[in-house]
Amino acid sequence: MLITIITFIIVFGILVLVHEFGHYYFAKRAGILVREFSIGMGPKIWWSRRNGTTYTVRLLPLGGYVRLAGADEDDDETLRPGTPVTIQLNDQNEVTTINASEKTTLFQGLPLQIVDKDLVDDLWISGYVNGDESVVKKFSVNHDANVIERDGTELRIAPRDVQINSASLPHRMMTNFAGPMNNFILALVVFIILGFTLPGIPTNSNQLGQVQSSSVAAKAGLKAGDRIVKVNGHSTRNWQSMTTAISSKPGQRLTISYKRAGQEYTIKLIPKKVRRGKQTVGQIGVMEQQKKDFASRIQYGWHQFILSGTLIFSVLGHMFTHGFSLNDLGGPVAIYAGTSQATSLGVNGVLAFLAMLSINLGIVNLLPIPALDGGKLVLNIIEGIIRRPIPEKAEGIVTLIGFGFLMLLMILVTWNDIQRYFIK
């Protein structure tokens, strides 16, 4: 139980960290201010500030986010007219810190009740100082000033020149795409690592890599290097077709055609009956040929990456063509249940699970749903087609609708997962 919980937190943390770092890195390159980089949701348990970005770790390991300047309006909520704050001034009489939190005290802070502000274009704030409502005082705000929010989180303000909408369209598209892209890169790297943990890479050829001593195959005269080309007259072009033909005939006489040194030979044998779960299958005691070279291990990682991505796309396609079901989706509860199964398979099981989740996260985030990265990219593409910015109000409404849809879907999926895995 404890190992599963720890593994779940690590796996989820890696996925979120890699995804959000993609957005963070390309936003920084585009000159967009990243106000906060958070791992986890809910109350913060640790934070640090560096180069204008506040890094936080929050209590609930169920996601994460980057707050890009201009992508939210939290300052409007935190610093409404009438809000009491304290401000700190520099030697040029500019505001360098606006403290809206009761948890933090500013050294030589000046009490101010906000009347109005502009922290985007002209950079100023006005209000009543020390409770004196007879005069409204106006202060210039430094370009790199900070706001301390009610929960004590300290963030940079978001002037217009460092907001996401001030960046070029290609930079914004790359920033939105970078999260899923990082998930794909992570999955590929993990699958390649798995390739190097295996004793050998299966070739899926019909050539025998090893023949067990005293086995049915050995007694029939088969040797390592032989290539089984037919079973009961049916061609076997790869390992899968060959094993399927043999395993489906337990205890039945088979005619095997194989090639050795360019010559074709025929033998007869009877596969041994072996119980596998609730089924009885036939086995002759041979093992698949494997490669151990560097290139084959890299190629294995690439093939697994493509295979996994194709599988996820086929599942999504099935949902659209055969009807939607909540059982086709999985939230944090399903991921926890999957983590428990993966942990029982050891390190390789966890790595494979991490890679599959990473591809899944990348693909799902690229779906054209507002509030997801794919939805943002669609808006970017529309902007490129019409050659003018989409009105902020319209974009905000679309994003809000998408966010509401996702929240409702997450609640339904989570409840469905609880019923599936914990309520029998």
Instruction: Name the residues annotated as catalytic.
Output: 20
Burial readout 394-411 (b: 16 or more C-beta within 10 A, e: otherwise) = ebeebbeebeeeeeeeee
Interatomic CA distance for residues 185 and 36, integer angstroms? 24
Interatomic CA distance for residues 342 and 63, integer angstroms? 20
Cβ proximity of 96 and 89 under 8 Å: yes
Interatomic CA distance for residues 33 and 39, integer angstroms? 18
Tell me the three-class secondary structure of the chain, residue by residue.
CHHHHHHHHHHHHHHHHHHHHHHHHHHHHCCCCEEEEEEEEEEEEEEEEECCEEEEEEEEEEEEEEEECCCCCHHHHHCCCCCEEEEEECCCCCEEEEECCCCCCCCCCEEEEEEEEECCCCCEEEEEECCCCCCCEEEEEEEEEEEECCCCCEEECCCHHHCHHHCCHHHHHHHHHHHHHHHHHHHHHHHHHHHHHCCCEECCCCEEEEECCCCHHHHHCCCCCCEEEEECCEECCCHHHHHHHHHCCCCCCEEEEEEECCEEEEEEECCEEEEECCEEEEECCEEECEECCHHHHHHHHHHHHHHHHHHHHHHHHHHHHHCCCHHHCCCHHHHHHHHHHHHHCCHHHHHHHHHHHHHHHHHHHCCCCCCCHHHHHHHHHHHHHHCCCCCHHHHHHHHHHHHHHHHHHHHHHHHHHHHHHCCC
Cβ proximity of 255 and 231 under 8 Å: yes
Interatomic CA distance for residues 233 and 59, integer angstroms? 63
Cβ proximity of 36 and 53 under 8 Å: yes
